Structure 1
């Protein structure tokens, strides 16, 4: 035990001596670093790019804090829906085919495919509507998607599903579900990789 204590005292003494010398040389090293960075113009490399697209504050919280989502309504060609879906009579022949004929509805299971009113409010067409009858703004469509795709929504909130806009520094702004997925046909089609290598024999 005596030998152990002697060794420990010796080790503490050497460490103190070394640390004192290291601190003396550390100040000169830091002075050199300050001199070298003083000549570097950090304004020439923007650390955070400004998000120029319209965003809305998310209803969800990310690690206790708020984040923003890309706005959706400005990208919908036929919004506001109430421009046509109102009390006025439709005087155009085959009006539904002319206005919505390009929509391919392929959402849901083969046995239970969704129809328009499963997501769109039947009374107030400028809103989506969940299964509990709550009105959902198109900019917050993730609230509607999350009622069925709850695991994907959980991953999206945490950052494991979807994509962050611009860069990883600065305010957190993420894509909305419908930025990547067509809400009427959300499954991505299977395709070959962009580059293909012939299998080796």
Structure 2
């Protein structure tokens, strides 16, 4: 297992996930339900999505090296453009941060968080990023660990810090930072494809 691949994946996935809709979903759910149940459901959903993405990346790695690197560079660059052009959206529910009194047990909240995050993460930027990194590094375990940890840290920030995260770090900074990381990854993939 390559620590470099795990670290690179973690550093790419974390800033890409922080401004994502699934993290906003975790913020909203944890403002209404038990944070441990929300985190548990979100964590399992993220891990499941990473397994799917790493398997898809492993299949891509069977293609010739130059084709995989060129496709990864294109995916990274497209992701960077999408992130850079993404406007900071204000959530209409910012004023609705109080708990609504609808108390459910651990498992119903866990299941709701799992379903919301799992469905929202399908075809998401970080899933495509994980697929590309798995194909690029040819180390599915390292990429899977890095991606899972990045997603879990993002979910933990959302659940633990709640709405304070968005007050401390402006959404556009998170988005721009993720775009810069993706441009760097696109450049390194393009360089690898050319050699």
Q: TM-score, normalised by structure 1?
A: 0.25
**Whose helix proportion is higher, 1 or 2?**
2
Larger relative contact order (CA 8 Å, sep ≥ 6): 2
Larger radius of gyration: 1
Report the structure, 1 or 2, having the larger strand content.
1
